[in-house]
Structure 1
């Protein structure tokens, strides 16, 4: 069977519709992981011994196990504890917990690069801790971490392909369905891969544009 460009082009309408599911899941996951990563960073900065040890165990587990296993645990193991989640919810939960662990490590490194004198000066003029975090620390934290955040966003988008194993009908799952019914899996996988590539490139370009904008504001 020869490779058919005509068939490949014909799969794009269905795959682009499926890509909307991929984008929706990715957007929700990115927002949640950024939020959770930020909260974990703030909590770790408080230096509460037992809490930081628990967070360290969580991060070690996430970094030491494959994302696919974490997805299986969220979808198949949680029901044994009485927690039943739909495939999309379980997938979002697993990828969020995974990505948040890496986000908080990124933020921890960025936090260490912020001059302590800025925080001390803010405290000396009477700013409360909440204001110091929201007005001084977090804006710098996000700007300093932007390249790594963008990289994590592309990882999230690509990671959604693993949700096909728990029956989430996203981009890869749709490609598999088309390939199995048409007996042309190669064309459909190439088409799906090209869409993932486009999404990753768009995210990277948006991130580069943001970096340039922040650089102009700083006068770099």
Structure 2
């Protein structure tokens, strides 16, 4: 396989990475709102939020992408394919990240919150200094894992006309009759990206509030 073909794969991987990172960031922002709604205890917020989470966790991502891609023009919203893809990925990952965050906040020991109240902490201080650090610490590995899953799932956006890494490897394989080296190279690129994200996640986890220093010997 020539260097030119590999360069085309790397260029397409830029689309894969860009779409994934934007979707992960947008999904996390939406997940925070969804999590807050689920923890509010008010049916007005919890019922529609749980329906949203159930839908986007229960329906295959491929179907979600096709639905969004065709629904937006139907209701008069014309957007580029890349925008439709980002919307689909963002909504999907938001549902999973919201559940991860909810589990983290619900795992905070009530005794810690009560101790903060007795110490005179305000609700804001309790959230920022007690609940948020512990919830992030508990859910961070799951959030990183979800980010990696979304990056790999971004291969499905080819169904809405985006030539990302997987689609590029398919197109090149059909025109050059070199499927094995092309798909192997695409797999290698995915592996490098996911491995890098995992390393960044581990590096960041050690620097979270309350994180244990490396080599401390404490159990995790």
TM-score (norm. length: structure 2):
0.88
> Which position in structure 2 is the counterpart of 1:103?
97
- Displacement of 1:139 in angstroms is 2.3
Root-mean-square deviation over aligned CA pairs: 2.0
1:17 correspondence with 2:14: no
Which of the residues 185, 191, 205 maps onto 1:197?
Answer: 191
> Which position in structure 1 is the counterpart of 2:155?
161
- Displacement of 1:167 in angstroms is 1.1
Structure 1, unmatched stretches of 5+, are 1-6
1:215 correspondence with 2:212: yes
- Displacement of 1:113 in angstroms is 1.3
> Which position in structure 2 is the counterpart of 1:48?
42
Q: Is the 8 A contact 2:38 2:50 kept in 1?
A: no
Structure 2, unmatched stretches of 5+, are none
Q: Is the 8 A contact 1:91 1:163 kept in 2?
A: yes
Query: Secondary structure of 1:168's partner?
Result: coil
Which 10-residue stretch deviates more, 186-195 or 149-158?
186-195
> Which position in structure 2 is the counterpart of 1:120?
114
Distance of aligned partners of 1:126 and 1:44 in 2 relative to their CA distance in 1, 3 Å threshold:
farther
Q: Is the 8 A contact 1:11 1:191 kept in 2?
A: no
TM-score (norm. length: structure 1):
0.88
- Displacement of 1:18 in angstroms is 1.5
Distance of aligned partners of 1:89 and 1:124 in 2 relative to their CA distance in 1, 3 Å threshold:
farther
How many residues are aligned here?
A: 213
- Displacement of 1:120 in angstroms is 3.1
Q: CA-to-partner distance for each residue in 1:33-71, whole Å, 9 max, x for gaps?
A: 111111211122111113211111111111211000001
Distance 1:173 1:45 in 2: 40
- Displacement of 1:106 in angstroms is 0.9
Query: Secondary structure of 1:83's partner?
Result: coil
Query: Secondary structure of 1:216's partner?
Result: coil
Which structure is higher in helix share? 1
> Which position in structure 1 is the counterpart of 2:123?
129
- Displacement of 1:149 in angstroms is 0.9
